[in-house]
Every structure is written in C-alpha cells, then in structure tokens.
Amino acid sequence: MEKDIFINEYTEKLKCEKASLFIGSGISRKSGYANWKDILRDCAEEINLNVDKEDDLITLAEFYVKGRQRTKIDQTIASFFKDKNGKPSQVHRILATFPVRSIWTTNYDTLIERTLQNADISYSVVTDDKSYVSLDPTAKVKIHKIHGDVCCPSKCVITRHDYEKFEEEHDVVLSELKGEMCTNSFLFLGYSFSDIDIQHVLSRIRLLYDNEHPQRHYCIMEKINKERCDDDDDFKYKENRLKHYIDDMQSYGLNVVLVDSYDEIEDILNEIKIRVHLKDVFISGAYERTNPLLHNRISPVARLISQKLIESDYKIATGYGNNLGPDIIAGAFLGCGNVGIKPKDFNENVFIQPFPYNLPDTVDRDHIYASLRENMIAKTKISIFICGEKSLNNSNSTINSPGVMKEYEASKANDNLIIPIATTGGAARKIWDMENDSKSLISQWAEFKKLNVEVQPEAISELVISLINKYSKKYN
C-alpha cells in the first residue's frame, strides 16, 4: 500500500474514533529494551544451546523450563523490563495524542502506561480474562497486554506451553479483539515479518475471521536492505520472501506499508498527528482591566476569533488566561449557537484547562503548569496569541506574561502554526517580532504581515481564519 493512501485512510479513522493500535517489541527496543534473544541468552547457555543459532525461541524457552523450571526466565523478564531501563520515545508521545480508546500490545514493559500517565490520560490494563473483574470503566484508554505484564512475569507468555494455553485463558480477550477488528481499523507498529509475536497474533485473527475482514488494517514494515544481505542472490531471495509475506498478510486483512527504514515511522506518525489535530486550535493570552485597548480591540478580537473558529468547524483549547478566558468562552458560545450546537455539547468543541493558582508552597507549581501546558498544546496544531500581559507587582505597569511566553515555547516545540495578533500588544507583539525575524514560512505570508498593523477586530479575525485555512490546505 502507498504511504500517502495509508496516512489519509488512517487519519480519517482516527478522526471518527474508529481506530486502534497494536504495538510490538520494535517500538520498545527503540526505547532501550531488550529483545527475545537477549532475554533467553543466559538460559540457552545453561542448557548448552546458542540463542543466535535458534530460530524457534518459543521452543527454546520451553526446553529451558522443562529442565530448569521457569524461575530464571521470570527473573530475567523482571530485571530486563524495569522502568529505569527504558524511557518513552517520541513515537510513544505522538501515539498518546491519537484519539484511540484501545491499545493492544504483546510487550511486557510499561512504556505505554507511563506515556499515558505523563499525558494525563487515564487507563486500565487487561492481561487476561480475569482482568475484566477489576477494569476501570471510567478510564479513557484500555490497554490490552495480551502476552502479560512485567509486574507479574510468571504469567508472561513466552514458552510453547504458554502459547498453547493462551486461548483458554484469553477467550473473552480474543472475543473483544474480534469485535474491535470488525468496527475499528488497526495499525500494527513494531513488528517485523519474522516476529514471533505477530505470527501468534495473526494466527488467532485468522481463526476468528475465516477470511472475512470488515475493516482495513495496516502494518508498517521495513523493505529488504541490500547492504545487510550476503550477496545479490540472498537479496533477491529475501525480497521474494517478503513479497509472499505481504500477500499472506493480505489474507489477514492487513495492508503492508513498506518503508526504507523503521526510522521513518516517527515522521509518518507525526504527519498523521498533524492531520488529526488540524482542526484543533489553542488560544493563549491575558490582559489587565486597565489596558486602554481592552474594549475596542483585545476583547472583541478574542470573541470574534473564537466565534468564527467554531462556525468554521474548528475546536478550541485554552488555559483560560486572565480576563481573556471569558471573552473566548463568550465568542465560542455564540459560534455554537449560530451553527446549531446545543449548550450541552459545548464542551465537545471547547476544552478549558484550569490552572490551580492557590497551590501550597510545598508543591512544584512550575512542573505542574508545564505539564498542563504541554499536554493541552500537544493535541493542537495551531496556536493563536492575543495580548499577553501581566501586572507588575499589582501596579499599573505591566510586563509580557511569562505564562504566555511559555505557551509559545511549547507551541514551537509541538511544531504548531504560530499566529500572534501583534496589534493587541504584550507578549503577542514580541512573538510576532520573533516569528518575523526567524523568517518562518508563515511570516512570509501577506496575512501575517497585516497582523502587525491591522487594528479593526473584524478584519483581524478574518486574517486569522485566512491564515488557518491556507495552512490547512497543505494537508488536504
């Protein structure tokens, strides 16, 4: 399957919340974790075998357990997959921004859990049928760790006997997988065509479906690298085998997207993230009630921009900045009314992130605020800055809001489109100057230049919508 076709199709599935993820060991290895051979290396030596000469690692694990019991394997799993041995990667962080309710994995580690926790996303874990008893129904994401969890290594699926009794202990899990594959499109990541885990999962899928596949599913895999082959004949043989493998994957309902290197996965996922959140706009700003531009510029600009965003089918995220927050809410409310969105559905179109101001001195406020900002901005692709000032020591003097500047930095780190309304002053003026000096793509656009001089609220709001639409066309 062509990469562009996959990106378009999976993006649309994500937008309508009909997408799921299936994560394999390749994603964990990028974070520093071991592979199967590393786990079984010492065990193989104990029974006078060489793990590098073994293709059937499931049987190798079975050989060891039969002769030595399972204790050392369990200890190795617990040791290798400690949290300190691996940190969530950028791929994990991108995936956390996807609007999925279900993540499936054959990995033992806690990378997915830690990523969701860092993103303030609640989750519940399923490892086998017994897990459903303690499932949290309020969790936003359900993680299915079908081969077990490092917290209970004795139950991890690794030996031939474990695989043989898998269906018996995962009857409900497999039923859920079948149902989900009927309604959602899955993206398989971190699996190679020689991966033991995916072979096992796919064999279950084939039994479940009997060659009927209601949804298209996807798997990103690496092309054969000629430089890693012994000679031309070896390269041709492996290419031919890959072709057969791709045809076989089609029988499971999986469409293979080939890439030159697995390093491309991050760029592909980032492209999907941009498209998914292209309609999500972050609005930052604050002002003091003494600002002379309050009534004829700043407040009406915030209201009009918010109103027109909602009317243009965009969604708004905001930290409810000082005095600006009510303006944003008022504009968004009017926009919702104009397009027939009922008051009860307001929160589906506007996300308000409150910041706890009255925290005790013992709490690390900077860390909490940074986390709130990063997680809010991570699910947007456009950032608008309006004014952004703060009273200096409760006097009539003001400074550029440090919070707004930090939200600008977070927006840049997230590669958002930056739209500062320079004529509202404050941090927005400074941000416009910085963007203009950097000669970024948007700074070359005529609409951006006009934001430095235009003072009429209606005209400013039209410029902002025009900039957003021009940016969005790049991905349509």
Largest CA distance in the chain: 83
Q: Which 3-state string (H, E, C) describes 371-421? A: HHHHHHHCCCCEEEEEECEEECCCCCCEEECHHHHHHHHHHHHCCCEEEEE
Q: Which of 263, 264, 270 is nearest to 94 (CA)?
A: 270
CA distance 332 to 348: 12
Residue 367 annotated among the catalytic residues of the structure: no
CB contact set of 294 (below 8 Å; sequence gap of 6+) = 287, 323
Q: Which of 144, 147, 217, 277 is catalytic?
A: 147
Q: Which 3-state string (H, E, C) describes 208-222? A: HHCCCCCCCEEEEEE
- Residues carrying an active site annotation: 147
